[in-house]
Amino acid sequence: MAEGNPKTFLAGAALVWRWQRLVWWIFVLSMVLGSYATKRMVDRAEPTLDHSLQSAPRLVHSFDLTAIAELSNQPDSPLEGPGHAGLHFSVIYMVFMLFATGGILVAYYRDERPTTGAFFEACGYHFWRFFRLLLYFALALIPTAILASIVRAVYSRIAEKSISPMPSVYFFCAAAVVILFLLIVTRLWFDMAQVIAVAEDEKKMRRALKISAGLLRRHFGSLFWLYFRISLIAWIIFGLGVYVWSHSLPPESTTTAFVLGQLVILSWIGTRLWQRASEALWYRKYRESAVVPPAYSPAPEPSPATYATAMN
């Protein structure tokens, strides 16, 4: 079935391409909110940099951390807008994505054209269920957060007592792999709970989490490999974008840097939707294979009326 089936991996990408309007909606919204989030900082930084013969050239022709630190330490820092506007718009974006997830999963699971009315109806229908899942997700992250704090304390202790810096580096890398693995598994667990809530119209999120946990336990290799491959592709694209931006683009190429940054964001959104589409498709195939018709159906026994007819 879906165990290690490459068709699920590629069919998920095909679903995202087929209903790519979802990707463009999210991308446009992120760009609009991002522009509003940075506008206040730009408005505050522009007067200072326009009249600074010391800081402006160091930021236009290079990336100088010292110049950024100097601007940040000013009494009225142009790099920090009042009211943390960026955080506010991030929360708005997070709430919208939580709202839109129901419509996205319905479109991917049914593989139907996501009309505007049906899409937003599905968004509203599943919103509060997914909001409860979000609360459970925050609780599920507490053990990993505790482990991360323990790792940080142990890392500091090893770095203080060890003469060589390598033991602390090795410990940090090993701990980072473990924590990243736990985060991926937790994310995958709740992703599948959302898919189950949509596919089965499950209203009790604790039951959806229980079913998702059992499904993940029985098919861990298939689901983890499906999720991890797409995540790896996303990180490779992100790394290439950062490399090109830092090594190939001159600081004056602001337009090219902006386009490159938007392409990286677009690829990040696309790969995340690729994960959701693949998960929905995997579960649909799982349901189809779970109900297998019998290979042999015995013929019904003849009734007494049949015998009487045959005797006559």
Q: What is the pLDDT of residues 73-88, one digit of tens each?
A: 555 555 555 445 567 8
**In the chain, % of residues over pLDDT 70:** 75
pLDDT value, residue 294: 46
Please report, for residues 98, 163, 227, 231, 240, the alpha-carbon distance to residue 234 in angstroms, rounded to integers and kept in the order given. 21, 38, 11, 5, 10
Token representation of residue 201: 């119209």
Q: What average pLDDT score do residues 211-240 get?
A: 94
By 3-state DSSP, what share of the chain in percent is helix, strand and coil, each rounded to 5?
80, 0, 20
Residue 236 has phi, psi (to 5 degrees) of -65, -45
What's the chain's average pLDDT? 81
Position 82 scores a pLDDT of 46
In this structure, what are the phi and psi dihedrals at residue 296, rounded to the nearest 5 degrees?
-135, 130
- What pLDDT is stored for residue 89 in this prediction? 80
Q: Which residue stretches of 141-219 are H helix?
A: 142-161, 166-199, 205-218
Question: Looking at residue 167, what is its pLDDT?
Answer: 80
pLDDT at residue number 297: 46
Share of the chain above pLDDT 90, in %: 51
When pLDDT is cut at 50, 70 and 90, the band that residue 60 belongs to is low
The CA-CA-CA angle for residues 305, 311, 312, to 5°, reads 90
For 60, other C-beta atoms within 10 Å of its C-beta total 12
As a whole number of angstroms, the distance between CA 113 and CA 27 comes to 19
pLDDT for position 68: 58
Please report the pLDDT score of residue 295 as a whole number: 45
123 and 99 Cβ atoms separated by less than 8 Å: yes
Say yes or no to pLDDT of 241 above 50.
yes
Is pLDDT above 90 for 254? no
Distance CA 233, CA 220 (A): 20
Work out the average pLDDT over 241-252: 81
- 260-264: average pLDDT: 91
Least confident of 22-26, 27-31, 47-51: 47-51
Q: How many CA atoms lie within 13 A of 229 on its CB side?
A: 17
**What is the reported pLDDT for 133?**
96
Provide the CB-side half-sphere exposure for 144 (13 A, CA). 17
User: Does pLDDT of 51 surpass 90?
Assistant: no
pLDDT tens for each residue of 274-303:
999 999 999 999 988 875 444 444 545 555
The DSSP output letter for 301 is P
Rounded mean pLDDT, 261-284 = 94
What average pLDDT does the segment 40-65 reach? 56
Q: For the residues 67-78, what does the mean pLDDT come to?
A: 57
User: Residue 32 pLDDT more than 50?
Assistant: yes
Q: Give the pLDDT of residue 8.
A: 86
Element at 285 (helix H, strand E)? helix 254-290
Nearest-angstrom CA–CA distance, 49 and 158: 43
Q: Average pLDDT, stretch 88-112?
A: 91
Give the chain's largest Cα–Cα span. 114
